[in-house]
A and B are shown apart, each in its own frame.
Chain A
C-alpha cells in the first residue's frame, strides 16, 4: 500500500497544504513549496511506489479470520509506526510522529478524483465559526455554550459525485382563471378552465451527492453550496495535512438522490412557466434524463465534534465558504421560562387593549 508524504526539502519536516493558496508550508522552518513543483515530485514518487509495492501489505497475520474486514494497516514511512484505518482511508496523520500521510493508491487509476476543491479556511476559523454558531440561540443550554470543549476538529476531504444532467420535461396542467363582479342584485363568479401543456428541456450542472458511507448525507447537503468554479485538477498534495476518504458508495447508488432533486427542480421550473392563472394543478409531469455525466470530486469539510450529557454533537463546516451546520441541544427550562415571559407580556398588552376596545 503506497503512502505518500510531502517532506520539506529544507528540513525534512512534513509539509501541510496552506488553505486558500497553491502552496505547501513546512511548520518547522516555514519553507513554502509550490504545488506545481510537487506535481513533478508526485510522478517520481509514483514510480517509486511501483518498485516498492511489495513492501507494503496488509499486516493481517495476527488477525483472526473475518476480523480484518473493512480494515487496513499501513506503516508510516517516517517512523515505521502502524496506522490502522478504514479501507476507504485516503489521507491521515501518523498517531506516533504526526507525519502527514496520503495513501496515494486510494486515489490512483480509476479511483483518482477528477477535481478537488482545496481548503480555503483554517481549523482556527472553524473553531471561531462554531462559537458564532452558538450566538443568538436563546434556548441553547448555557453550560453547553460556556463550558463545552471541542473533542476534535478534523479537516476532511469528503468524496462527492457531481452529476451533470440534461433533462427533458413533458407536463400537463389543469388551470383556471376567476373573474368576479356584481350588479344591483347579484354577485357573479366566472371560472374559466384551461388545459395547459409544456414541453422542453433544461440542464443541471454538478449536482453533488456524498459518496462516503461514514458521513451523514443530510449533514453534507446542509453544507451546500460549494463554488465548483474554484475546483482544480486533483493533486495528492492538497490532501497533505488533512484526512481524506476514497468513495465507498458507487456513483450508480448515489444517482437516485441526485435524480430526486433534479426531478423536483425541473417540475418546479416548468410549473413556473404557467403564468396568469389563479390555480394550476399538475395532471402529468414527466422528467426524463437525456444525457448525463458524472465527475468524482473531493470537497473540503471541517468536522467538529463535542460531547455533552453522554451525547455526541457533530458540527460540519464547509471548508471553502465557512458555512457551519449542526443541531444544538434544547434547554427545556429556558424553553418554559421564555414561553412564560412572552405569554405574560403579550397577555398584559392584549388584555389591556381588549378592555380599551370594549365599550
Chain B
C-alpha cells in the first residue's frame, strides 16, 4: 500500500518524461517478479513426482473406438453487428 502511495506521489509530481520512464520501470519490475515466481515454481514442481493418474488413456485398445450413431444437427444462427469507428473522418475535420 505504502509503495503504491509513494509511486502515485512520484508519478504526480514528476515531469511527463520521467513519469513515462518510471511507469516503464515499474512494469518491468512487475514482469521480473512474475518471471522469478514462474522460475522457482518450475524448480519446485520438479521435486514432486507422485501424482494420481487421471485417465486410463494408455489402456485403450487400439482402434477400438466405434461410433454406432453420430448426428450434427444445425439449430440456429445468431448475427452480431458492431459499427466501425470512423477515425479517418474525425481526423480530417
Contact = CB atoms under 8 A, between A and B. Distances in A.
Contact of A325 (B50, B68, B70): B50
A262 B55 CA distance: 7
Given A140-B47, A186-B81, A262-B56, A350 B28 contact: yes
26 contacts: A137-B43, A139-B40, A140-B47, A175-B72, A182-B84, A184-B84, A192-B78, A193-B77, A193-B78, A194-B72, A196-B71, A197-B73, A198-B67, A199-B69, A200-B70, A258-B56, A261-B55, A268-B57, A269-B57, A326-B49, A327-B50, A328-B47, A335-B44, A339-B40, A346-B35, A355-B21
Interface of A: 133, 136-140, 175, 182, 184-207, 216-219, 221-222, 224-225, 258, 261-262, 264-265, 268-270, 273, 324-330, 335, 338-340, 342-343, 346-347, 350-351, 353-355, 357-358
A313 to B, nearest CB: 11
Contacts of B25: 351, 354-355
B33 interface: yes
B52 interface: yes
B91 interface: no
B73 to A, nearest CB: 4
Interface in B22-57: 24-25, 27-29, 31-33, 35-37, 39-40, 43-44, 46-57
Contacts of A188: 79-82
Contacts of A194: 72-75
Contacts of A353: 28
Nearest to B48: A327
A202 B47 contact: no
Contacts of A325: 49-50
Contact of A342 (B39, B65, B69): B39
A52 to B, nearest CB: 42
A201 B70 CA distance: 12
Contacts of B61: 202-205
A151 B16 CA distance: 66
Contacts, number: 202
Contacts of B84: 182, 184-187
Contacts of A203: 60-61, 64
Nearest to B79: A190
Interface residues of B, number: 54
Contact of A200 (B27, B31, B69, B74): B69
Given A200-B67, A343-B33, A357-B24, A138 B43 contact: yes
B81 to A, nearest CB: 5
A221 B69 CA distance: 34
The 7 tightest CB contacts between A and B, nearest first, are A350-B28, A343-B36, A354-B24, A347-B32, A346-B32, A203-B64, A261-B56
Nearest to A197: B71
Nearest to B64: A203
B93 interface: no
Contact of A265 (B39, B40, B49, B57): B57
A91 B66 CA distance: 44
A312 to B, nearest CB: 14
A171 B37 CA distance: 41
B53 A221 contact: yes
Given A325-B49, A326-B49, A358 B21 contact: yes
A354 B46 CA distance: 32
A139 B47 contact: yes
